[in-house]
Chain A
Amino acid sequence: MSLPVVLFALVATVTAVSALGVVLARNVVRMAVWLLFTLVGVALLYFLLGAEFVGAAQLLVYVGGTLVLVVFGVMLTAQGPLRELRTRPADWAVAGVLGVALFGLLVTVSFRIAAPPPTDNPLPGPGPLGLSFLGVTEANPTGPVTGVPDGPPTPRTPVAYLLPFEVVSVHLLVVLVGAAYLARAKRRVRA
């Protein structure tokens, strides 16, 4: 048992238990709290895997942004203190069977995959990652994982991420406008 294995076991248990908590919780705010622990656990997994930038992005965007937004939504749509919506037992049965079947399928597939031999080579850090969004980095950067990679970066035309980056940026702008339009203050329509 080495340190990464122990840490993985710890973090994975916390993540899995809180994911189960999201499913089983009745109250929406409690669901959000369990989801908070799941998201933090996933961020810790990223740190464990060495993907520090993705982990920090997960914390900033998901935990600090999305989840707060979700809780905000819960508060704006709450009809009474701690009101619950019950699920029918039939729904539970169908969903449970579906979930167990999917889990079994995915686990089987994961054992079928020929896992490549693990390396101790650290993942590329924020520098290569940022440059790849400009489409100017190597396919498989090695060497220093911080800052700007040394040596001239080679252009990588076939799979440069400049276009996806721009598409995502424009998409975010559209989403911003759309969300503001949808959620603008309106008088409630009374039936």
Chain B
Amino acid sequence: MPDLWSDLLPYPWNVAAAGVVAAALLFGFVGVSTFFAIWAERKVSGRIQDRLGPTRVGPFGLLQSLADGIKLVSKEDHAPTAADRFLFKLAPYLAFCASFVGFLALPFGHGLVAKELNVAAFFVLAVLSSEVFGVVLAGYASASKWSLFGGVREAAQVVSYEVPRALCVVVPVCVAGTLNLNTIGTQQAGWFWNWNLFHDPFTFVAFFVFYICATASCKRAPFDLAEAESELVAGFHTEYSGIRWSYFFLAEYGSMFAVSGLAALLFLGGWHTGFLPAEATALLGFWGGNLLNVAVFVGKCWALVLVMMWMRWSLPRLRIDQVMMVCLHYFLPISCVLLVGVCLWVLLVPAGAAEVVRYGLAFGSVGFVLLMFASAFRAPPMSAPPGRLPGAWDGRPTPLGADASAKRG
């Protein structure tokens, strides 16, 4: 990034200008993404629950987040009397800073990164894991039992899920031989079978384990015990209102995009379409290629975030002991096995066999995805005979009102 400015400005100032521009761009990206992600979340939840979602503000309700934002900014900035006011005010900014700083090392295109670090994958993990501190502080400083429970649950959950998440990041890093995300992305150039996802069975499984652990460490449903509203009111942000509350939301969506970006870079080919034989910058020139790169990368991030939303509105919330057990009994051993397995695979499996497995996995997955899409279009329209309930009661339609009359009788 500083190289782009070195023609215009002398030495210390080009670095400073690059820093300011990168920070502004990233802040803009996080803000705009959150803006539309909140709208998308409400639309997705609405459609899944057979509602319309927001429709009033702007076309398709697109400006709903703007209206919500104006409402949040104009709300009273309120803190409980017993709260530790300094920590109460500090906590949302800490959470937001942690999830924002993670973007510093994420490349959006070939060399398009705010600061290219040799340990970028490790750095992103490290920074994202410190987001929990803001949540714990919020829980403590609110001087409310619901908040404290939420904060302590969040601490236990995130610290546990960090371990399998980090182990799953190491799996593609073993394949790539570097922690530099830019290099890892560049290695996956070309056709989609070059993606680390299809490198071997272990990276294939590691992607799914990583994605679930990342969902858990973003405290998204079905792992959102820190804000389980059916038991803890709103968990750690029970006492927050207005702009501070919205910083927690920015932090949550920011870290969702950050882990999705990390997953895209480590497993899904980063900024590569998968359908071009070479690096896009080599085919379309610097600006055209990078425009395509950024669009592809942001598209992949959005796809993964949308899957998180889909999971949130489809799956019921786990209990806290189930959340911990899933991590410690299943994900931790699985990720250890994956790590050992991928090392053995890289060392022992001959190149020809590895290639066969790679093509098999790649074309198998693509075929599976195409089949799923086809089946969605082939599915018969959901209709019920008159007087019967539609939907899931396919085999034995229930007459409307039969249940109630049976109970009464």
Q: A residues within 8 Å of B by Cβ?
A: 2-3, 27, 29-30, 33, 36, 52-53, 55-57, 59-60, 63-65, 67-69, 71-72, 75, 81-82, 125-127, 145-148
Contacts and interface: CB of A to CB of B under 8 A. Distances in A.
B113 interface: no
CB-CB nearest 7 A-B residue pairs? A64-B129, A60-B126, A59-B126, A3-B12, A56-B122, A63-B130, A147-B178
Nearest to B127: A59
Q: Is the interface of A mostly helix, strand, loop or mixed?
A: helix
Interface residues on B, range: 35 or more
Contact of A75 (B16, B87, B140, B180): B140
Contact of A63 (B133, B140, B151): B133
Interface string B139-154: 0110100001001100
Contacts of B82: 81
Nearest to B163: A65
A81 B148 CA distance: 11
A59 B178 contact: no
A127 B183 CA distance: 14
B177 A36 contact: no
Interface in B145-192: 148, 151-152, 155-156, 158-159, 162, 166, 177-180, 183
8 contacts: A29-B87, A29-B140, A56-B122, A60-B122, A60-B126, A63-B126, A71-B155, A81-B143
Q: Which of A3, A56, A63 has the most chain B CB atoms closer than 10 A to its own CB?
A: A56
Contacts of A145: 118
Nearest to B173: A126
B162 A64 contact: yes
Nearest to B137: A33
Given A52-B123, A146-B183, 9 more contacts: A3-B16, A29-B84, A63-B133, A64-B129, A72-B136, A75-B148, A75-B151, A125-B118, A127-B178
Contacts, number: 99
B296 interface: no
B178 A146 contact: yes
Given A53-B122, A81-B143, A125-B119, A64 B132 contact: yes
Q: Which of A36, A55, A60, A72 has the most CB of B within 10 A?
A: A60
Nearest to A69: B159
B177 to A, nearest CB: 6
A126 B118 contact: yes
A72 B135 CA distance: 12
A177 to B, nearest CB: 15
